[in-house]
Structure 1
Amino acid sequence: MKRFIILLHRYLGLGAALLAITLGISGSLLVFRAELQSEISPDSRPTLATPVSYQAAYAMARLHYPHADISLRLPENSRDSIQARVRSKGQPDITLWLDPVSGRILQQQDSNAQGWGWLHELHARLLLPEGKIWVGCAGVLITLVLLSGIIHWWPKNWSKAWRVRRDKGVAILVSDLHRTAGAAMLLLLLLSTLSGLVLAFNQPLRDWLTPAKQGKPGKHATIQPTGQRLPLDVLIQLVRTRLPEGRITGINISARSDKPVEIRLKMPGEMHPNGSTLVQADPYQGKQLRIEKTETSNPWRRVSSWALVLHDGSFAGTAQRVATALTGLLLMLLGGSGVYQWLARRRKQAAVRTAGVAAGIAGP
């Protein structure tokens, strides 16, 4: 039986190696995206005497993209640039970085064509239209490799369980490091892989586990566009007055004039990094139409929020983020060292066959 497990581990690992390398290195970099992403126009940050204007940022984005849905992502530090995601039907998404006081466009790029957007699409979807399903399948494959690997490693003699032989050549050294590192970090590897599986299969799992009449997102209310729209800063102040304990993280403005403005907040106790509380407001009358605390109303949202913070390292501060990044690097190294071992085994077998043929020719 163990021989079968060893073969299963070897060939599943060989098939998953490229995916493990790709997901491992991209995930490690994305954990520290905020630190590694270059700052944009630091001299444009506001002083204490210059108030932030979310309306100015929105007005500039709307001026350039009058028929698009616009989502503003608000930074934790109000002096940082505001990020706007622009979505137009039939067109690739555009990301704008906007001055938080004047609304001036500091930088613009195709959201998924380059840089960090491209790296995120690689990690989350492998750059494929239905890539989340393929990433989920890769996660299943990697999970099987990890579980078969621990069975393969499980020693009869525990005194040799963590042995790393440095005097037996490179192939033996790589093999020992592969086994011991995989065993030592198994729980973190499984945590990262299984949380990624939940995120990749989020929609089908939610549909399966959530009762038909529960957990469905609320429909947007339809409003009557009358008069001038209120500035976003006024709507934000109204929400802050109603929910002072929450931090506003995003604002979604539809291109349609009869749709409410949706404001996203992170409330105390919510796990999702961007929060899960949604407030719909009438942009003409300033009335609050709906408050939806999705982590309370939808149990599956709590599961997916937990999966996200465990997967991206945002739950337990810097220590967890470092551990998450190291786990991704280890996954990459395990994939690469597994391929190296397979190639070394092939070379050794070829050398043995060559030696056997040579011995047969030289014999009587």
Structure 2
Amino acid sequence: MDNKKTNPKKKQGKSLTKRITGWLHLWLGLISGIIVLTVTLSGTVFVFCDEIVDLCAGNAKYIQAPAHAKKMTPEELLVKFHEQVPDRKAFYFDTYKEADRTFRVASATKPPKDKNAEKADKPKGKGRGPRGVFAYHYLDPYTGKIMGSTKSYEFFYVVAHIHAQLLAGKFGKTVVGIASIIFFIQLIGGLILWWPKKWNKTTRTTAFKIKSGTKWRRKNYDFHNVFGFYSLLPAVFITITGLIMAYKVLTDLTQVTFGGAPDAHKIAEKYEPKFDPDKKALSFTDFIDRGFKEIPEAKQIRMSVPRKDSATVYNVVAAKFIGLKSIIDGKSKEVNKYTGDEINYPKEVLMHEVIEHMNFDLHVGYWGGMFGKIFTFVIGIICTSLPITGFLIWWGRRNKSPKKNKEIKNIHQHRKESHHEQLV
């Protein structure tokens, strides 16, 4: 038999494509690693914001409903709220169909009235800016007494802004956008590096399974590659939906593609009623009664509290559950405060809101209820781990003995060389 056919083929090095990809994967990862870790971790924490907010509320969510008692009107409850916490300003409230649920008010501390006071507050790190500090207060709907409060709202507001802009305004948003693009490139590059030169039983095992009984360096390498592969498609999807929110050009392109209007807010103003000081607005109770009547399965209604008397449109949400940014089995609408009728916006304006909310739901996992949240949370944990495991791979290569160097090298070349065994 010809010796050339019986001997294993000569070992070949990495292709030019993989060498270039590997170099980019390493240095792009080192440059963006901390930013990517911060963005993915904050996004992962935000997934379960509604559950954590309710958990923080504790017993304040419920009261012992008195027999034959009538709930106070939202207007009366808001007056009671501001009497008890005069340093805060309500901007929306949640009321519930159940008799034993408390009335929830979302509010912010009033900003300093003068610039000197505002400057004095900034170095103290109290989070007091023009918007104030957010919080939820829970009121007994029969007496107006505050039963408890939580600043979990403020916590998740900060988490969301870390995720979107690193609490650094436009500059931070730009940094996050660039890091997200790099992460997208990293995901594609990771797939190229993961892909075996030839598929066989050995390479399939190495590519899809974490080898047991190995030392931490090999275990870390397997975690980075195997979990990175399994999370690739959802991670790409989450990254794309995030980029759509980060870049206006992508936002507008998405709106136009699916029938929405990029300038929906400007168009909407033309269809909103003009302020008339001689007209009287309907009570909050009127809107609440309409909401429960229109959506019988609704258990919760959220209404915006207008900042100015000149505001002519109220936002009303009726649903089975309403969270910080989620709506389950319900509807959000803008209504005329004088008539209670829904504003008759053009189709492209309504589609703008649908597309915007759908993209957000896809990004944070609200698309599939609890399953969607758990799935997105797991993917978020994996994405958060990738910069760490990748850094450890690089650090291990820099700080290894010659003997270890040979062992690690064999790991990287294992998939390429394994097919030689079948040629013997």
Instruction: State the TM-score, normalizing by the size of structure 1.
Output: 0.78
Matches within 5 A, 1:1-364: 1-37=17-53, 38-42=56-60, 44-45=62-63, 47=65, 49=67, 50=69, 52=71, 53-63=73-83, 64=85, 70-73=91-94, 79-86=101-108, 90-99=130-139, 101=141, 102-105=143-146, 106-107=148-149, 109=151, 112=154, 115-130=155-170, 131-158=172-199, 159=201, 160-163=203-206, 164-166=210-212, 169-201=215-247, 203-208=248-253, 209-210=255-256, 215-216=264-265, 218-219=268-269, 220-226=272-278, 230-241=282-293, 243-244=294-295, 247=298, 249-265=301-317, 273-274=326-327, 277-282=332-337, 286-288=338-340, 290-291=342-343, 297-348=349-400, 351-352=401-402
Identity %: 19
Q: CA 1:110 to 1:181, structure 2 compared with 1: closer, same or farther past 3 Å?
A: closer
Q: CA 1:342 to 1:66, structure 2 compared with 1: closer, same or farther past 3 Å?
A: closer
Deviation sequence 1:148-190 (CA, Å, 0-9, x none): 1001101123331441344553222211221111112211211
Single out whichever of 136-145 and 328-337 deviates more from structure 2. 136-145
Letter in 2 for 1:325: F
Letter in 1 for 2:149: Q
Q: CA 1:61 to 1:225, structure 2 compared with 1: closer, same or farther past 3 Å?
A: farther
Decide whether the 8 Å contact of 1:245 with 1:267 is kept in 2: no
Q: CA 1:179 to 1:332, structure 2 compared with 1: closer, same or farther past 3 Å?
A: same
- Whole-angstrom distance in 1 between the partners of 2:180 and 2:97: 32
> 1:193: how far off?
1.8
Deviation sequence 1:65-84 (CA, Å, 0-9, x none): 69957222456977255141
Deviation sequence 1:214-238 (CA, Å, 0-9, x none): 6335224333234876531123224
SS at the partner of 1:317?
Answer: helix
SS at the partner of 1:315?
Answer: helix
- Whole-angstrom distance in 2 between the partners of 1:69 and 1:42: 18
> 1:194: how far off?
1.8
Letter in 2 for 1:107: S
Decide whether the 8 Å contact of 2:80 with 2:145 is kept in 1: yes
Decide whether the 8 Å contact of 2:47 with 2:377 is kept in 1: yes
Decide whether the 8 Å contact of 2:301 with 2:319 is kept in 1: no
Single out whichever of 148-157 and 314-323 deviates more from structure 2. 314-323
- Whole-angstrom distance in 1 between the partners of 2:284 and 2:89: 17
- Whole-angstrom distance in 2 between the partners of 1:111 and 1:319: 24
Deviation sequence 1:301-339 (CA, Å, 0-9, x none): 333222211222222122221111111111111111011
Decide whether the 8 Å contact of 1:71 with 1:251 is kept in 2: yes
Q: CA 1:3 to 1:329, structure 2 compared with 1: closer, same or farther past 3 Å?
A: same
Residue in structure 2 matched with residue 362 of structure 1 by the alignment: none
Letter in 1 for 2:242: G
Letter in 2 for 1:71: Y
Deviation sequence 1:184-217 (CA, Å, 0-9, x none): 221121122222222333x443445548786335
Q: CA 1:156 to 1:132, structure 2 compared with 1: closer, same or farther past 3 Å?
A: same
Instruction: State the TM-score, normalizing by the size of structure 2.
Output: 0.68
Q: CA 1:59 to 1:108, structure 2 compared with 1: closer, same or farther past 3 Å?
A: farther
> Which one has a bigger Cα radius of gyration?
2
Decide whether the 8 Å contact of 2:92 with 2:106 is kept in 1: yes
> 1:25: how far off?
2.7
SS at the partner of 1:251?
Answer: strand
- Whole-angstrom distance in 1 between the partners of 2:262 and 2:216: 59
Decide whether the 8 Å contact of 2:93 with 2:103 is kept in 1: no
Structure 1 gap segments, 5+ residues each: 356-364
